[in-house]
Amino acid sequence: MTAENQTLCEGVRESRRTSPALPEPRGPLSELVITTLRAGGSPGPLPRDTHDADPYGDDLQLALYTLYELHYQGFDGVHEDLEWDPELLGLRRALEGRFLGALRADCRSTDSAEGALGGLLVEPIGHCPTSVSHHLQRDGELWQLREYAALRSLYHLKEADPHAWVIPRLHGRAKAGMVAIEFDEFGAGRAEDIHARLFADLMEDLSLETAYGHYLDAAPGTALATVNLMSLFGLHRALRGALVGHFAAVEVTSSPGSRRLAKAMRRSGAGKAAERFYDEHVEADAVHEQVVRRDVIGGLLASEPGLEPDVVFGIKATGFLEDRLGARLLAAWRDGRSALRTPLVATV
């Protein structure tokens, strides 16, 4: 390892050296969660009445995101024991029920797993007006690339972590395939090549703050929902099939999307590190696609064929939430507006 890489591994660019501050509430549910965490413990039984909450709205999604983060990096000043506070877990279950129920209603499908995956493999001919990566490749401006990276940082600075939850729930061929892909995501034994590290380098090229969770307050609920979906599926053994479906959807669509984003980074002059992150995904995810289809899904359904509807649900839910996020981004950008709740500071 070079002296430069040794310095990197000692934490100079490590985005997760510290935990982020608690976010600002966006409604009664997130206010309740954040106030409880800030106070250092549960004040008593928490209300479970969430049936009127917008399942995709900012308030519920922020409340859920905040509770999920207790299982990852936590928050500055929040005691780690609250990860397993029974009242907070009870509230999380109620929020999850509202979110999951809405997704099941909106993502019904009679497709087979093969059919659902086949639909993802069809690339549109020419420019696709509803695709964020097509827009960024063809028309995206640097400020839009910065906004996109800021939003995606909520996942990419912990890339592959939510999917690791499923590994103990798999066995045989499915487990071997999943671990092989995760090994690559985590740098194949090289800390400087961990994909979360590569994304932090991309953010530096774009003059963005690389601290984990820094852009949480700026992210709309549509962005939070795409990250919450991974945690929802990953933290529940009963949803292991849905997590595999989600993972497959990400890997199958990643290579062509990353190719477009790499071109967008080059066209905008974002920088070599920004280009490298997506170049890495073009090559790696083309291989991962084959492994996830043949070994992860194939192995899972060979041993547990009854999980096929859950795999399909995971694929459909992923596309549904990504489409909602894409619609928000493109509507704002085509009007010349920021898609963030708080616009970024312009770079010189």
* 3-state SS track over 114-181: HHHHHHHCCCCCCCCCCCHHHHHHHCCCHHHHHHHHHHHHHHHCCCCHHHHCCHHHCCHHHHHHHHHH
- pTM of this prediction? 0.93
CATH 1.20.910.10 range(s) for the chain read 113-334
24: pLDDT strictly greater than 50: yes
Spatial distance between the Cα atoms of 340 and 175, rounded to a whole number of angstroms: 38
Q: What whole-number percentage of the chain has pLDDT above 70?
A: 91
Spatial distance between the Cα atoms of 177 and 300, rounded to a whole number of angstroms: 10
Per-residue confidence (pLDDT) for residue 44, from 0 to 100? 61
16: pLDDT strictly greater than 90: no
The residue assigned the tokens 């696709």 is 128
199: pLDDT strictly greater than 90: yes
- Average pLDDT of span 220-225: 98
Contacts of 129 (CB under 8 A, 6+ apart): 135
5: pLDDT strictly greater than 70: no
Q: Which residues of 176-186 are buried (b: 16+ CB within 10 A; e: fewer)?
A: ebbeebbebbb
Spatial distance between the Cα atoms of 291 and 220, rounded to a whole number of angstroms: 33
Lowest mean pLDDT among 66-75, 231-240, 270-279: 270-279
**CATH architecture designation of domain 113-334:** Up-down Bundle (1.20)
pLDDT per position as a tens digit, 165-188: 999 999 999 999 999 999 999 999
